Amino acid sequence: LSSQSLQLELLLSGYALRGELQVCPARRFCPKLIWRWTCTDRSGTPVPAYYVTTPVFYVNSLPHIGHVYSAVVADCSHRYKILQGVNSRFATGTDEHGLKIQQAAATTGKDPLTFCTEVSNRFRHVFRRCGISYTDYVRTTEDRHRQAVEQFWTVLVNNGFIYRGSYEGWYSVPDESFLTETQVVDSTDSLGRAIKTSTESGHKVEWMKEDNYLFRLSDLRHKLQHWLRSNPRVIQPEKFYYIVLQWLESDLPDLSVSRQKSRLQWGIGVPGDPEQTVYVWLDALVNYLTVAGYPEQHSRWWSVVHHVVGKDILKFHAIYWPAFLLAAELPLPQAIHVHSHWTVQGKKMSKSLGNVVDPLETSLKFTVDGLRYFLLRQGVPDTDCDYDDDKVVKLCNSELADALGGLLNRCTAPSLNPEQVYPQFCNTSFPKEPEEFNGRAVLEDYKMVEAVLRLPALAKENFEKLHAYKALEAISGCVRMTNGFIQRHAPWKLNCRKTEDKLWYDTVLHVSMECLRIYGILLQPAVPSLADKILSRLGVGPGERSWDHALDFLSRYEGRDCPYERRALGPNTGLLFSRLERKNVQEKHQKPGK
């Protein structure tokens, strides 16, 4: 303790947390003491931090496969960062205010909070079931969030970005969005009546005229353009970056950021004005700051925030949100990762079409890993993808059951590995230089080893960009090569009574298991339970599964010791992934009475 500060140090298995008591910079005029924490490793180097978010999900409808996709993409990134030794935080939650929730609650006859709690719990349940390992679950009806929104609003007012005005224009309740004349078109409803709809979402819009508060969005156009031009990779994929730049070239009127309380009661009141409610998108976007600890403790996490969003909410995240942050003098997001949508037979999922894919039912039919693998392997950020049960069955059967499961079986089945160990590697059979010692490995085998040696770097590059589909594609290609390696040398045909054959037999198994160990480590972010099954069966301990452990591939071939050699395998827990049968799947898991 000095006269300046109070410091506290906690040492936790190799990591050190150092805390310092400081005056909160956000409360200069009404000081409050807060702890500032830094996390360092054994050598005193700060541990890098990462904060990934999903959008908060509307509670007017139940979770579907599209929502789970946003969450799985973020979850995969969070798990990948942890494997890298990064201190990662992952937030998700529910968006519970606004007109459409107010209306949805009214149709059920429940009071809004009871209604929201029920649906929010459904999301939480689905996410837990799907292995979404969030560190924070936020509900916009929580008190901590209300406080964050009130403070954020006050800062915007104090910085001169909010003024009293009146809004007249189009509003879409399903999108909770204000639209300009150019963003609406003439259309007809199901009864043939003339209506106007949003060109982007197709939802019906209504004319609205209200006195409320406006945000000086138009003043921030140049700052937003400057931010984007100086950070050309901030919106991914590039296609969406250019879309946002184009939007900024067109009309950018000031934004209405409140609604009259007489129309919208279900929301956060505007500080100091009992007649107005904060616009639901401003309210919802602040959730990212709430989780980071705004207004008092957010700086550590806020400087490393990455948002995962669907393409339908790009404008809110790439224009409104950075504009609000600029106005509040807060750092802008490190990256906005945009993904496209899942359709069913080419159509948007909707209750009225009856084509909504239920993630719980799907995860029961195909297992959680099957569903996650399908979504991450097939989902591409640039274009919409079509969901189809048959596609899930085909992909999981060929890549998980046959290729990966077959490979594990060939290395560990008691008939092929009677000693149930990680066998020894023999340098004479598989020399580092193909010409040396007349080894038995052929050119194709060297190519495979090269490919697996390069795999972690390739997977890293793609997991960093949240392009899991490319990482999984590369892993799958290597799995195919390793199966080809075993097939080529058919160890089951060798006569193990001959010493030379036995050495080669063990080497083939050792190399294949080393490949599998790398695949197991790299698959952890995408299919955690399946990866755990592989690694546990190989006898790889919990402390041997970090990303760095994947960089130490086939060390015996490189002339170093191998810690796994001669180690007993883990218990045999059966098939890695049972083949899915489309017909059986339908019969076995159909809900009773359906």
With respect to ligand MSP, which residue has the nearer C-beta, 52 or 56? 56
Q: Between 301 and 340, how does the x/- string for binding to ligand MSP read (CB under 6 A)? A: --------xx-xx---------------------------
Contact 106, 267 (CB under 8 A): no
Quick check: helix, strand or coil at residue 92?
strand
66 binds ligand MSP (CB under 6 A): yes
With respect to ligand MSP, which residue has the nearer C-beta, 60 or 417? 60
C-alpha span between 151 and 286 (Å, rounded): 10
Query: Of residues 58, 213, 215, 324, which one binds ligand MSP by CB under 6 A?
Result: 58
Q: What is the closest distance, in whole angstroms, from the C-beta atom of residue 283 to ligand MSP in the complex?
A: 9
Q: What is the closest distance, in whole angstroms, from the C-beta atom of residue 75 to ligand MSP in the complex?
A: 14
388 binds ligand MSP (CB under 6 A): no
Query: Of residues 342, 373, 374, 463, which one binds ligand MSP by CB under 6 A?
Result: 342
With respect to ligand MSP, which residue has the nearer C-beta, 337 or 537? 337
C-alpha span between 193 and 30 (Å, rounded): 58
Please tell me the chain's helix, strand, coil percentages from 3-state DSSP, rounded to the nearest 5: 45, 20, 35
Quick check: helix, strand or coil at residue 31?
coil
349 binds ligand MSP (CB under 6 A): yes
> How many other CB atoms are there within 10 angstroms of residue 569's CB atom?
18
Q: What is the closest distance, in whole angstroms, from the C-beta atom of residue 57 to ligand MSP in the complex?
A: 4
Q: How many residues bind ligand MSP (CB under 6 A)?
A: 19
381 binds ligand MSP (CB under 6 A): no
Q: Which of residues 148-207 bind ligand MSP (CB under 6 A)?
A: none
Query: Of residues 50, 70, 375, 518, which one binds ligand MSP by CB under 6 A?
Result: 70
95 binds ligand MSP (CB under 6 A): yes
Q: Which long-range contacts (CB under 8 A, 24 or more apart) does 245-250 make?
A: 247/315, 247/319, 248/221, 248/224, 248/319, 250/182
Q: What is the closest distance, in whole angstroms, from the C-beta atom of residue 139 to ligand MSP in the complex?
A: 12
With respect to ligand MSP, which residue has the nearer C-beta, 145 or 549? 145
C-alpha span between 352 and 354 (Å, rounded): 5
C-alpha span between 71 and 96 (Å, rounded): 18
Q: Which long-range contacts (CB under 8 A, 24 or more apart) does 555-558 make?
A: 556/425, 556/427, 556/510, 557/425, 557/427, 557/430, 557/432, 557/449, 557/511, 558/432
C-alpha span between 483 and 406 (Å, rounded): 8
Q: Which residue has the tokens 């997977």?
A: 459
Query: Of residues 67, 139, 315, 556, which one binds ligand MSP by CB under 6 A?
Result: 67
69 binds ligand MSP (CB under 6 A): yes
52 binds ligand MSP (CB under 6 A): no
Q: What is the closest distance, in whole angstroms, from the C-beta atom of residue 378 to ligand MSP in the complex?
A: 12
DSSP 421: B
Residue nearest to ligand MSP as judged by C-beta position? 310
With respect to ligand MSP, which residue has the nearer C-beta, 264 or 503? 264
With respect to ligand MSP, which residue has the nearer C-beta, 69 or 519? 69
Q: Which of residues 242-301 bind ligand MSP (CB under 6 A)?
A: 284-285, 287
Q: What is the closest distance, in whole angstroms, from the C-beta atom of residue 357 to ligand MSP in the complex?
A: 9
459 binds ligand MSP (CB under 6 A): no
Task: Using the rule CB under 6 A, give the single segment among 66-74, 111-119, 240-248, 326-334 that binds ligand MSP.
Answer: 66-74
SS3 assignment for 119-186? HHHHHHHHHHHCCCCCCEEEECCCHHHHHHHHHHHHHHHHCCCEEEEEEEEEEECCCCEEECHHHEEE
C-alpha span between 556 and 543 (Å, rounded): 20
Largest CA distance in the chain: 91
C-alpha span between 91 and 107 (Å, rounded): 30
Task: Using the rule CB under 6 A, give the single segment among 22-30, 51-59, 243-251, 398-406 that binds ligand MSP.
Answer: 51-59
Query: Of residues 34, 56, 101, 472, which one binds ligand MSP by CB under 6 A?
Result: 56
Q: What is the closest distance, in whole angstroms, from the C-beta atom of residue 119 to ligand MSP in the complex?
A: 10
Q: CB burial class (10 A; 0-12, 13-18, 19+) of residue 587?
A: exposed
With respect to ligand MSP, which residue has the nearer C-beta, 309 or 455? 309
Q: What is the closest distance, in whole angstroms, from the C-beta atom of residue 67 to ligand MSP in the complex?
A: 5
Within 13 Å and on the Cβ side, how many CA atoms surround 551? 7
Query: Of residues 55, 93, 267, 528, which one binds ligand MSP by CB under 6 A?
Result: 55
With respect to ligand MSP, which residue has the nearer C-beta, 112 or 310? 310
Q: What is the closest distance, in whole angstroms, from the C-beta atom of residue 54 to ligand MSP in the complex?
A: 7
Contact 565, 556 (CB under 8 A): yes
- In degrees, rounded to 5, the angle at the alpha carbon of residue 54 between the alpha carbons of residues 50 and 58 is 155
C-alpha span between 406 and 400 (Å, rounded): 9
Q: What is the closest distance, in whole angstroms, from the C-beta atom of residue 507 to ligand MSP in the complex?
A: 46
C-alpha span between 183 and 527 (Å, rounded): 41
Sequence-distant (≥ 6) Cβ neighbours of residue 470 within 8 angstroms: 462
Which residues in this chain contact ligand MSP in the complex, by CB under 6 A?
A: 55-58, 66-67, 69-70, 95, 284-285, 287, 309-310, 312-313, 341-342, 349
